[in-house]
Structure 1
Amino acid sequence: PQRGHTILQHVAELINPVTGSWDSELVNEIFWQQDARTILAIPLLEDFEDIWAWHFDDKGRFSVKSAYHMLREKQEQQAKRQVGEASDQIEKFKWSEIWKCCCPPKMKHFLWRLAHN
């Protein structure tokens, strides 16, 4: 990969899973020398989860807009996860119960749409 252009998304991907230390070869390949030295000097702590950090935009600038896009991306990923969880619940739901309700058809339709989020 070219410096500054990589497909890595998590800090954990820069850590050697066997040794539990920085993958110095990968860090040196991806980052500029000064940045790589700084990264490799950071002590690694075990059992820490990756967190979202405010990333710069396409022009290398930090802006409210870049933070907004990062937040929207995170929300979309969470929504996809929730839809996956909801689809499991939807499969268990007895749809025939909605259609058996003693209410106007438009209410049945509304309940069906509500159940599908």
Structure 2
Amino acid sequence: MGFQWVVGDGRSTVATKDLWLAQKFDFRVDNLKMYEGREEKVATLFYPNSKTWDPERVHSVFIYGDATAILATNVPQRQVEDRIVWAKSLDRIYSVKTGYYFWQNLYAADSNCAQSEGWKRIWRLSIPHKVKISVWRFCRNNVLVFSAPEWLLQKLSSARYDEVVAICLVLWGIWFWRNKRV
């Protein structure tokens, strides 16, 4: 996820399931199943009436790797509440730009369309932009005509230029007339 909890007083963050460990890649404890049903707040891991970690308590609740990450987490000594921040930007504030980059890194690597030579050829074609967008939507399975982007991209990567243009125009025509009927 792109957000995480930042510990203040520790009363809102659930230590066993919330995303709050800055030292961990995914901000959470390693073995969620092991802590299932436990709802300890981070504040219960402090010495009483303090905002200092109780190492004995932390090690009694968590496995070694999680305990080490918890004890390495800085806790502000001033009185502030726990808060949720956007972990994917330096200022910790969500923006459409940082959300987009997060989404791209998460999902674009899995996309056959993004890694294909056929896909690159689509964007270089001298055809209307709306046709390119329609083919892009088709490849991303956003157009429910049928699901076959892999064979299409293979065809586009090996076809002649005029064949690629024809395929794209036909796909756009199908999409256009389908939308007129719906």
Higher helix share: 1
What is the TM-score when the length of structure 1 is the normalising length? 0.35
Q: Which has the larger radius of gyration?
A: 2
What is the TM-score when the length of structure 2 is the normalising length? 0.24
Question: More relative contact order in 1 or in 2 (CA 8 Å, sep 6+)?
Answer: 2
